[in-house]
Structure 1
Amino acid sequence: MAHAQRNRSIGEEPVTSVLPDGDVPYDSGHAFSADEEVLAALGYKSEFKREFSLFTTFCVSFAVLGLLPSFASTLYYGMGYAGTAGMTWGWIVAMLGIQCVAMSMAELCSSMPTSGGLYYAAAVLAPPGWGPFAAWITGWSNWCAQVTAAPSVNYGISAMILAAASINNPNYIPQDYQVFLLTVFIMILHAILSSMPTKWLAQFNSAGSTFNFLALIVVIILIPAGTNRTDRDLPRFTPSSEVWGTIYEGTAFPPGVSVLMSFIGVIWTMSGYDSPFHLAEECSNASLASPRAIVLTSATGGIFGWFLQLVVAYTVVDIDAVLDSELGQPFAAYLMQCMTQKMTLAILALTIIAGFSMGQGCMIAASRVTFAYARDDCFPMSKYWRRVNKHTQTPANAVWFNCAIGILLLLLIFGGELAIGALFSIGAIAAFVAFTIPIFIRVFFVGNRFRPGPWNLGKFSIPIGVFASAFVALMVPILCLPSVVGAELTAADMNWTCVVYGGPMIMVTIWWFVSAHKWFKGPKVNIEHMMLGRGEIVEGQGPTIDGKDRDDSSGERPRSDKMQQLKE
């Protein structure tokens, strides 16, 4: 579907230097690589070593996806809202929309391979005058998804560790403070590891992703092969008519809506495929490798995730018992229904190790997002969060900033299951909103004026983008629905996603109109909407080249002398 185009030097494009003298990303003593030329044209200096390849980028992305631990952490939603029907054909329906979002995102990544990712794309693609606001909303929504990822993953891992302890000792009942302290400990470990040099990170995550993939395959084989349902006077597998045709009444809504509500598990599980976009500035041949890693992650995750859903759907014994188990972790409760204790503990061990790698990948991706936004002064005290450690050449300050925010969010553990469960809902809805804003703008405001990169969707670009936008527009309100309605709806049963996500987003919107619009000009855009094929000046950046006015008498925009030297 994607097709290659000839890569050109930025010296061949009408590039304008909009950075102040002394900060133009040009060094006369340095031979620019193709990746550095692209980044310079987009307005940024290359500040990281490009030690990620297609494979290692995919490894980080697949580790962030973390199919096995993600599925284990969100089983309550996938199974609890619609039962096995939501896990079988419901997963397929959800993946159609998710894959369209991933492909549209990959096309944007190929055109604009920066750590800012979606935030940068929204600013460039937005209509004149709206770039900074589009970047502001996209950036904050994406940051909400990123900063909640590691805490939610690590919370799920901690719950599984303590559930395993409870299986070994039935008299032990995990306490909230124990879950909190264990999760904080894992967060700190991840922060230390995420501050390592890029080369070490690539190697560590390659190993973690390989283990993730192997553990997933082992569990998919182990569950149907090792189930002891027959020892409990049950058929080895539940009949297909029941698995595919019975919708569990887990909500007060009609069956179709319940299936859509169960998509929260699919969306949260599959939300890590944007990681290659944020690692683009550390990836070699980023215009091709990064978009390929996005699509490869989404497709691989979708296929193998569905296989995992199938084996669980065909072997689960009692959904009510899974959801209400005293173990406090549905996946552990499910395993105890159809496996021996030793087998249960073995699968939990594999899931916990894979989850640790996943949490690590989430923290890496989140730190790159924080660095990219701080580089454009999006946060208070941005000058601290955008610093790159001179020893490791990684944004260590951003890592620890995110770690501190994540630990504060973990205080929701003391608010009960629904309160901490909001972290999963926020991750799903915030990520999808951020993913789709630039796609929506590209489809409905830019259209055929979009200048794609070497990886693109060709004539299928607009239809796929339209379907992706429609899918997200449908899912956003669905993800905010509570499972019960009417007189039965209490504060304890409320879906707090709309408050926990909507509240901060309303606050940053108010902040924009009160103050931020005066000083936040969006990402630095060092190329005059080249990917749009239009002649407007980028919002917030005047028509000057090294202090000289544009010569409007010519049909083309003159090149900056400094940027022209890049070609030479």
Structure 2
Amino acid sequence: MSARNLSVTSAGARRKSVADEPVTSVLPGGDVPYDPNHEYNADEEVLAALGYKSEFKREFSLFTTFCVSFAVLGLLPSFASTLFYGMGYAGTAGMTWGWLVAMIGIQAVAMSMAELCSSMPTSGGLYYAAAVLAPPGWGPLAAWVTGWSNWLGQVTAAPSVNWGIASMILAAASITNPDYVPTDYQVFLLTTFIMILHGIMSSLPTRWLAQINSGGSTFNFIALIVVIILIPAGTDRESRGLPKFTKSSEVWGDIYAGTEFPAGISVLMSFIGVIWTMSGYDSPFHLAEECSNANLASPRAIVLTSATGGIFGWFLQLVVAYTVVDIDTVLDSDLGQPFAAYLMQCMPQKITLAILSITIIAGFAMGQGCMIAASRVTFAYARDDCFPMSNLWKQVNPVTRTPVNAVWFNCVIGILLLFLIFAGDVAIGALFSIGAIAAFVAFTTPIFIRVFFVGNRFRPGPWHLGKFSMPIGMVASAFVALMVPILCLPSVKGADLTPDLMNWTCLVYGAPMLGAMVWWFVSARKWFKGPKVNVEHMMLGREGNVVEGKNDSGSEDGPTAAELADSKKAADAL
């Protein structure tokens, strides 16, 4: 290590420069994290090299981070909530080999994301990566698009999950009392109540959240195994004059005509269930600032979540595909919840209620994990003044050391979105498509930039893909480019397309994103410069001066990641 890459603080300690850290930093290679009153540990050094000071307690480990991520993934409740799309668009063929095809693209996205996380383990995650990796001058816009799309995906996650759970609770009541038919306002009130419970729980200290989510994730995993075993073991199809399992030729070969598009398009449309179910693996990225050994533990948790979810999710798809009796009846049942209707077709009532109860508890844990992950994203973006009243949402509660204000901001937005319930099942169902598209756009924007624009400027962290990085990134980018327009297609077309059958994803996702882009061109481009650096650094090569959170104009805001990245790119070009 050269003398230029070392510095001696007032306490006489020698500190590593940014160039010595395994990160893709926006800071010049000679910068040294500096605090005369505090000795950085390894995680704090990595975060400081990215331009941020540590504000959370690092009480998440690889296991507890995986637990939150797996809870957010919530395979069992996610599958139950999206069965209408997975089974309804392409039938059992889409659920079996369709799941495997979709997982190729999804795993490519997860692995590419994990590589970015190892190199840039910060709560801003994908948003930070987009700003840092974008070509000179494009960092703020890349961060703006990625950030708003990611936030839309995050803020719709908890209400969509909780709507599914509320529907299952009321469907269970209908099974017990056939005369009871749930109304829209009852679904709305129950979902709102669950949202408020999750808001309270998500405001707890980090240590408690880690323990709660460890328990929730453990239950999710056990519940998944139990249901995978219980369905084939407990099915009573034979007592109804049917073979115990449907023939494989029918399960794998028959594509249900759930849309008016060709069979291949119908299978692709059914991927919404896979994509939405598998979208929780980004949570470790957003929890990186609360995780110890983050640039190894967080990417490992991402890949572990995606791989585990993909394998066990496929097993769940198989047992349902082999036991479903009549898809039309499942989709059109008066119960209002396809998973409950499916169970009633092939299981005794007591087992049906037991499986629904297990799924509801697992879904409650999933909604809790979604609320936590969304609050960290909101905090990270408010820290960079992306929202109106950002000063309020970026505050860390001094007692719990968690972003409580961001939790309740998201909770209120989520409750407002639930008014879509009164517009019908198709309208509220758009939350699932929004979550899938918004998440994929956010996931892949920095991956696309990394593959096609960065070249050798990317510095891998300790977890990386090596020579497979570029090919895997290309597969991820191509998969998302294919799926975004597919997820906007309605199930019918031509004269059959009416407002109540329209796929409202284009409007519910497109309108906020259009608003964000209008805001960008009218105003935000003048003041939004991307992620802000908020940690002091010693600038070697600048006569040892220390930057103290002031930009060139003398304001209290520090330099932004995009500004530093552009200056660094220009220096590298020279």
TM > 0.5 fold call: yes
The alignment's TM-score, normalised by the length of structure 2, stands at 0.89
CA contact (8 A) 1:153 1:355 kept: yes
2:529: which partner in 1? Answer: 521
Instruction: Give distance in 2, aligned partners of 1:315 and 1:477.
Output: 32
Where structure 1 has 5 or more consecutive residues not aligned to the other structure, the ranges are 1-7, 528-536, 546-551, 558-568
Counterpart selection for 1:13 from 4, 13, 19 = 19
Match of 2:346 in 1: 338
| Structure 1 counterpart of 2:273, one-letter code | G
Cα pair 1:205 1:357 within 8 Å, conserved: yes
In structure 2, the partner of 1:187 is 195
One-letter identity of the residue aligned with 2:378: T
CA distance in 2, matches of 1:544, 1:417: 50
The residue that corresponds to 2:213 in the other structure is 205
C-alpha deviation, 1:13, in angstroms = 2.0
Among 542, 551, 563, the alignment partner of 1:540 is 563
Secondary structure at 1:107 match in 2: helix
Equivalent AA in structure 2 for residue 241 of structure 1: S
Which of 192, 212, 232 aligns to 2:240? It is 232
Deviation at 1:448, TM superposition (A): 3.4
With over 3 angstroms needed to count, the CA separation of the structure-2 counterparts of 1:101 and 1:173, relative to structure 1, is: same
Per the TM alignment, residue 26 of structure 1 is displaced from its structure 2 partner at its CA by: 4.0
Higher relative CO (CA 8 A, sep ≥ 6), structure 1 or 2? 1
1:46-73 CA deviation, whole Å, 9 max, x = no partner?
0000000000000000000000000000
Q: Please list the CA deviations of residues 399-439 of structure 1 after superposition, one character each: whole Å capped at 9, or x if unmatched.
A: 00000000000000000001100110100000000000000
TM-superposed deviation, 1:111: 0.2
Runs of 4+ more than 4 Å apart: 14-19, 541-545
Residue 499 of structure 1 corresponds to 507
Alpha carbons of structure 1 residues 526 and 447: separation in structure 2 relative to 1, 3 Å: farther
Equivalents in 2 of 1:358, 1:31: separation in Å?
A: 37
The root-mean-square deviation of aligned C-alpha atoms, in Å, is: 2.1
1:113 to 108, 118, 121: 121
Task: Determine the structure 1 residue equivalent to 2:313.
Answer: 305
1:543–1:96 CA distance, 2 compared to 1 (3 A): closer
Equivalent residue in structure 1 for 2:283, among 258, 275, 278: 275
Structure 2: distance between partners of 1:336 and 1:150? 27
Measured after TM superposition, the shift of residue 540 of structure 1 is 2.8
Q: 2:108 aligns with which of 85, 91, 100?
A: 100
Instruction: Report the alpha carbon displacement of residue 138 of structure 1 after superposing the two structures with TM.
Output: 0.2
Q: Does 1:252 align with 2:275?
A: no
Structure 2 counterparts to residues 389-400 of structure 1, below 5 A = 389-400=397-408
CA contact (8 A) 1:447 1:462 kept: no
Letter in 2 for 1:491: P
Q: Residue in 1 aligned with 2:66?
A: 58
Contact conserved, 2:90 with 2:263, CA < 8 A, in 1? yes
Q: Which residue of 1 aligns with 2:421?
A: 413
Distance 2:477 2:573 in 1: 35
Distance apart, 1:28 and its partner CA: 1.9
Partner of 2:386 in structure 1? 378
Q: Could you report, residue by residue, the CA deviation over 1:228-264 in whole angstroms, capped at 9, with x for unpaired residues?
A: 0000000000000000000000000000000000000
Q: Does 1:222 pair with 2:224? A: no
Structure 2 residue 383 is matched with structure 1 residue 360: no
Question: What CA distance in whole angstroms lies between the structure 2 residues aligned with 1:95 and 1:247?
Answer: 19
**Residues 20-48 of structure 1 deviation map (CA, whole Å, 9 limit, x = unaligned):** xxxx9743222211110111111111000
Of all paired residues, the percent bearing the same amino acid is: 81
Give 2:157's aligned residue: 149
Query: May I ask how many residue pairs the two structures share in their alignment?
Result: 529
Q: Does the CA-based 8 Å contact 2:132-2:565 persist in structure 1? A: no
Distance 1:543 1:408 in 2: 39
Give the distance between the partners of 1:462 and 1:144, measured in 2 at CA. 28
CA drift of 1:544 comes to: 9.6
- Structure 2 distance, partners of 1:120, 1:170, is 52
Q: Which amino acid aligns with 2:399?
A: H
Deviation, 1:539, is: 3.9
Among 297, 308, 315, which residue is 1:289 paired with?
A: 297
CA distance in 2, matches of 1:265, 1:9: 49
Deviations 1:104-137 (A, max 9, x none): 0000000000000000000000000000000000
Amino acid at match of 1:104: S
Who is 1:464 aligned against? 472
Contact 1:25–1:44 (CA under 8 A) maintained in structure 2: no
Distance 1:31 1:14, change over 3 A: closer
Paired AA for residue 563 in structure 2:
G
Contact 1:41 1:526 in 2 (8 A): no
Residue 113 to residue 490, structure 1, CA distance change in 2 (3 Å): same
Q: Which residue of 2 aligns with 1:323?
A: 331
Contact 2:281-2:303 at 8 Å conserved across structures: yes
CA distance in 1, matches of 2:192, 2:565: 47
Candidates 167, 180, 184, aligned match of 1:172: 180
Mapped contact 1:17–1:526 kept (Cα < 8 A): no
Deviations 1:266-290 (A, max 9, x none): 0000000000000000000000000
Shift of the alpha carbon at 1:449? 3.1
Q: 1:472 is aligned with what amino acid? A: V
User: Is the CA contact (8 Å cut-off) linking 1:212 and 1:354 kept in structure 2?
Assistant: yes
Note the alpha carbon deviations across 1:469-508, whole angstroms, 9 max, x for none.
0000000000000000001111111101011101111110
- Of 347, 369, 372 in structure 1, the residue corresponding to residue 377 of structure 2 is 369
Q: Calculate the TM-score normalised by the size of structure 1.
A: 0.90
Equivalent residue, structure 1, for 2:548: none
Alignment check: 8 A CA contact 2:99 2:314 kept: yes
Q: What are the equivalent positions in structure 2 for 1:424-439 lying under 5 Å apart?
A: 424-439=432-447
Q: 1:85 aligns with which of 79, 89, 93?
A: 93
Q: Does the 8 Å CA contact 2:26/2:561 hold for their aligned counterparts?
A: no
